[in-house]
Chains A and B, each alone.
Chain A
């Protein structure tokens, strides 16, 4: 099992990679897109083959609209399948599943 934090400027994502190559990414703060790109790439380089990204409660109406649309229509985001999990107190929660870990040009 590997566990690491990816920090970029003031944004942060926590990553856990199980022994079977399955990674879990959880958002602490997103202050620019660079933190997620780095988190995905570091997870890929650390040996993860598959991953799930948990958003937690999304209180941003614009993000909610886009993710709900993707979840309803099966439209991928960064090649990952978007699923609407539950409606949290501050907004819907989503998960993004990658059956194959992406790598994004930085």
Chain B
């Protein structure tokens, strides 16, 4: 696999061209355990999922700043990203404020519960299907 720097470098031109959307939505993203704004990635048909995964470290670090406990393992990704695509809306100071903490905690808990329920729901669905076929 390419190094972190190479992976960030690959997506840098696209991310540096992005501009803040005044109507951007913020949400909790499960895999990075972070807050992510809707204007922080280019359109889906212009990049690959595997290319964007390096941003999880950048998003995670920003969220750790919001929470007041910087996650050191993600700091290098954050610092390299700042050098490579400084104009990315993800670096806006207002997206690093502690005032997001409560929102993060609330959304994290909500999605965690829904995600946990997904497998249980699937198992119930399968059990019902088995019971139904046995009854026929």
Interface hits, B4-56 → A, CB 8 Å? 4, 25, 27-34, 36, 38, 41, 44-45, 48-50, 52-53, 56
B106 within 8 A of A: no
CA distance A61 to B74 in the complex (A): 14
Q: What is the CB-to-nearest-CB distance from B37 to chain A, in angstroms, rounded to a whole number?
A: 9
Q: Within the complex, which residue of B25, B31, B33, B122 is in contact with A10, where a contact is CB–CB below 8 Å?
A: B25
What is the minimal beta-carbon distance from A24 to any residue of chain B, in angstroms?
10
A1-42 contact mask (Cβ, 8 Å, vs B): 1 or 0: 000010101101110000000000011111111001100000
What total of chain B residues lie within 8 Å of the partner, measured CB to CB? 37
Set A28, A61, A78: member contacting B49, Cβ < 8 A: A28
Question: Shortest Cβ distance from B48 into chain A, in angstroms?
Answer: 7
Which residues of chain A are within 8 angstroms of B25 by Cβ–Cβ distance? 10
Which residues between 98 and 124 of chain B lie within 8 Å of chain A, taking CB atoms? 111-112, 114-115, 117-119, 121-122
Binding site for A on B (CB under 8 A): 4, 25, 27-34, 36, 38, 41, 44-45, 48-50, 52-53, 56-57, 60, 73-74, 77, 111-112, 114-115, 117-119, 121-122, 125-126
B-binding residues in A (CB < 8 A): 5, 7, 9-10, 12-14, 26-33, 36-37, 55-63, 77-79, 89-91, 102, 104-105
